[in-house]
Chain A
Amino acid sequence: MDPAWDEFIITGEPFILAGQIAILVTTIGIIFILTYFKKWKWLWNEWITTPDHRKIGIMYIIASLLMMIRAGVDAMMMRTQLAAPNMPFLGEAQHYNEIFTTHGTIMIIFVATPFLIGLMNVAVPLQIGARDVAFPFVNNLSFWTFFWGAMLFNISFVIGGAPDAGWSAYMPLASNDLSMGPGQNFYLLGLQISGIGTLATGINLVTTIIKMRAKGMTLMRMPMFTWTTLITSLIIIGSFPILTVALAMQTFDRLWDAAFFTLQDGGMPMMWVNLFWLWGHPEVYIVILPAFGIFSEIITTFARKRLFGYTSMVFAIAAISGLSFLVWVHHFFTMGAGPMVNSFFSISTMAIAVPTGVKIFNWLATLHRGRIRFNVPMVWALGFIPNFTIGGVTGVMLAMAAADYQYHNTYFLVSHFHYVLIAGTIFGCFAGTIYWWPKMFGVKLNERLGHWVFWLFMIGFNVTFFPQYFLGLDGMPRRIYTYFPEDGWFSLNFLSTVGAYMMGFAFVLLVYNMYYSYRYEKRETSGDAWGGRTLEWATSSAIPPHYNFAQIPEVKDQDAFWQMKQEGVDPNGVEEYQDVHMPNHSGNPFVMCVFMFIGGFGLVFHWWTIGIIGALGIFACMIQRSFSRDDGHIVSAEEVRKEEAEIREGQANENG
């Protein structure tokens, strides 16, 4: 494939033209601001090369929010197109196909997953009383693979054309014959590059949690978010390589005419569907379990009670993670695997409702007779329980294989997975961000605006998706770009579109709140913004010092910090300071990932020379790394003592 230069940049679409102009203006704006304020060096030294888990977490969250805007605009465009019968808004089916493909892919791969990984990065090392993750260099590398993978995927809509085979990219629809042009290649290579980072993060977090917990923190004293992170990381290790393999095979089919999925050469198109969902279903739990962990933290903090049924929570997560690998066929009951197979997967799917139900009742029992404070993170958590349960119940309906023949491929399904992914994952991401915001930026988000955001978003969400259950039962299929007046789907679709705009407005308000609070809200003076129970709130200052803890606290209870407060122990009352060993900054991962981007971009267009340049660059970076001396650096006891004294002095001034 060698596209002519006039086809290289997409032209002739007003929305894409607007996107191109927006990208150009934003890029020039960023370059101008960084140059004008002389911030390039600061950006490189403080952020791009940082091994600090908190900063990497913040970068993950910012990048995910940006991706959420992009995929959210996609959603708005889809809802506008479907607001009324025969809408001329998007023009043709092709454009609609591209938009639902990128909406789904970005929301799962570049929003939900990295958003939660960002929160894990911010909170988990602090929760277990560690100074950083096990492999800080790899952590930085993980972020940049995600970032450049996302960039490679996103430029598709202005250069070369967006993928249009759905986020699940079934073969043979995604093959060269039916998806011509480079669009699908962007999907394959963008996901492949970012997948490396996700797997590396999984390995990193497992090692961190197993090896680097503070003294006294046994496994069964770990905070629930740390538990869910550990189990999620194990699911990542068991499932992401399957996606890697599936993507690689489709890439080989498309770029080098391999025969994995082509029938006439002995291949099996169904193999793709199986492999995709063998990864895809565990992925669903990768993005929901950490959200469960976040809600557990928030509910215990704001109900001011110990978590009810801690042990059963742990077993429930473990059971869910095991079952998550045994249900993938329920995504294609209608493909005719036979009654025995369908029955097995029907039952295993319904079985997941049991541990999930255990968790729901544990949360309710934790709330029972708690002294509840209705701060913004808590209202998100309280909103999660009923809304997520609606999604769960419709999930059990879909799990009945015989009935699924009716629901399959309709808006009923669309509504179901939005109820679990938004009310579960997205509510969790927002709640976690608001909860740990003071840990990241030393300031709380404004509560008044925060309540507005919650109510607008939650009502908007229900107005959008509740009607879609009925549209589905009424026979409206998913992935259609228009419908006729006589179909009778107008009023519910219109309602749904109104709700979507409410959600969009709420999201804008949330982003505004981040800006507003940064400008005007009162700075936090202590590390304990909410009256927390776990170690991340035990740091000496609101934003933890770069070494996190001057002295690693000793854990005596499941709610370690709560117990210290009860017994009047000051976790920062250090008697003798000691040297602290910290990792060094490195620009190597950033450069390596730029080469991944370059190589991936070359492969998309079959420009082998550029592909080889990218590969050579990656290996050069690896060689550079293995010859460089990097044993970290020592922060001396004297420096730690000085920094801690300054923090205390600052707090005394604030309070005095």
Chain B
Amino acid sequence: MADTADLSKGLPTNPEKATLEGKNKFLGMFVFLAGEVTMFATFFGTYLGLRDGTAGGPEPADLFQLPLVFIMTMILLTSSLTSVLAVYAMKKNQFQKLKLWMWVTFLLGVSFLSLEIYEFVEYYEHGLGYTSSAFASSFYTLVGLHGAHVLFGLGWILLLLLRYRGTGVTLSNAPKFYAFSLYWHFIDVVWVFIFTVVYLMGIGA
């Protein structure tokens, strides 16, 4: 399985792909994300099919506040950037920097999630309960599923940071940090689609 790499000259430049196990994780993560694409695509399709089914309740244009959603978008995009900086530090074997940027990513993720919870509470107070209409169910499920992914990602990076707090970059943890960063980019991309399809098209229509 994992052929160990030659470490006599220090860590290789791509520590995440130096072993067979790392290569497998790298490809496996991409294939997993392909499955996630199918899942989100289905939810997007469902949302587009059901967003007019408001059953006399609140409609998208009554609810969405672009400034808030714009701030959320910026926060999440920035967190994607900080995770890139973390991986960049990892490739240069700078473990302290890796940890620092991952912690920044974590905090940005937490603030994104807090704003999303605040947003949902606002909508609820405006009369959009989960069971109010087909629009409500599909909106909360699509955006909520994305939020759940953010939450899962936060738990993931937290565990990685706690477990590897003093180990330095190794051939066994580099693929793990790298897989996390792939996942984090993916949920960022999904958010860009949510921003466009749900919010911009919701207000424009």
A259-277 CB contact bits vs B (8 Å, 1 = yes)?
A: 1101011111001000100
B contact residues around A265 at 8 Å (CB): 53, 55, 131-134
Residues of B contacting A211 in the complex (Cβ-Cβ under 8 angstroms): 20, 23-24, 27
Contacts A207-B31, A264-B55, A271-B50 given; does A237 touch B38 at CB 8 Å: yes
B137 touches A241 (CB 8 A): no
Report A55-105 residues with CB < 8 Å from chain B CB: none
The residues of A that contact B70 with a CB separation of less than 8 Å are none
B163 touches A627 (CB 8 A): yes
Does chain A have a CB within 8 A of B5? no
B35 on the A face (CB < 8 A): yes
Query: Within residues 118 to 143 of chain B, which ones have a CB less than 8 A from any CB in chain A?
Result: 130-138, 141
**Chain A interface, >50% SS class:** helix
- Is A644's beta carbon under 8 Å from chain B? no
**Binary interface encoding of chain A residues 219-250 relative to chain B, with 1 for a CB under 8 A from any of its CBs, else 0:** 00000000000000000011111101110110
User: Which of B1, B23, B27, B54 is close to A582, meaning CB atoms less than 8 Å apart?
Assistant: B1
| Residues in A whose Cβ lies below 8 Å from that of B35 | 199, 202-203, 237, 240-241
A241 adjacent to B133 (CB under 8 Å): no
Residues in A whose Cβ lies below 8 Å from that of B137? 249, 252, 258-260, 267
Q: Are A259 and B133 in contact (CB under 8 A)?
A: yes
Whether B27 lies near A207 (C-beta < 8 A) is yes
Q: Is B62 an interface residue, CB under 8 A from the partner?
A: no
Distance (whole angstroms) from the CB of B174 to the closest CB of chain A: 13
With both beta carbons as reference points, the residue of chain A lying nearest to B37 in the complex is identified as: A241
Report the nearest A residue to B42, measured CB to CB: A245
- Complex Cα–Cα for A619 and B36 (A): 20
Of all chain A residues, the one with the shortest Cβ separation from B176 is A626
Answer whether residue A204 sits at the interface, using C-beta atoms and an 8 A cutoff.
Answer: yes
Instruction: Say whether B117 faces chain A, with CB atoms less than 8 Å apart.
Output: no
Chain B neighbourhood of A632, CB < 8 A = 1-2
Q: How far is the CA of A237 from the CA of B34 in the complex (A)?
A: 7
Interface size class on chain A is 35 or more
Contact A239 B38 (CB under 8 A): yes
Instruction: Name the A residues within 8 Å of B34 (CB-CB).
Output: 237-238
Which of B39, B49, B155 touches A271 (beta carbons < 8 Å)? B49
Expressed in whole angstroms, the minimum distance between the Cβ of A624 and any Cβ of chain B is 11
Which A residues lie within 8 Å of B31 (CB)?
Answer: 202-203, 206-207, 237
**Given A241-B36, A265-B53, also A581-B46 (CB < 8 A):** no
A266 near B55 with CB under 8 A, answer: yes
CA distance A199 to B130 in the complex (A): 29
Interface pair A627/B141, CB less than 8 Å apart: no
- The answer, yes or no, to whether A631 is at the interface (CB within 8 Å) is yes
Nearest chain B CB to A635's CB is how many angstroms away?
11
Q: Residue among B34, B36, B38, B52 with the most chain A CB within 10 A?
A: B38
Which residues of B in the span 76-112 have a Cβ within 8 Å of any Cβ on A?
none
Contact with A along B18-34 (1 / 0, CB 8 A): 00100110011001101
A135 to B22, CA, bound (A): 11
Q: Which residues of B contact A239 (CB under 8 A)?
A: 38
Ordered by A's residue number, 22 sampled pairs between the chains whose C-beta atoms are within 8 Å are A132-B1, A202-B31, A203-B28, A206-B27, A206-B31, A241-B38, A241-B42, A242-B38, A248-B141, A249-B137, A256-B131, A259-B53, A259-B132, A259-B136, A260-B46, A266-B50, A266-B133, A268-B49, A581-B2, A626-B159, A626-B160, A632-B1
Q: 10 tightest CB-CB pairs across the interface, nearest first?
A: A266-B53, A241-B39, A266-B134, A258-B137, A267-B134, A241-B38, A134-B24, A245-B42, A266-B55, A581-B1
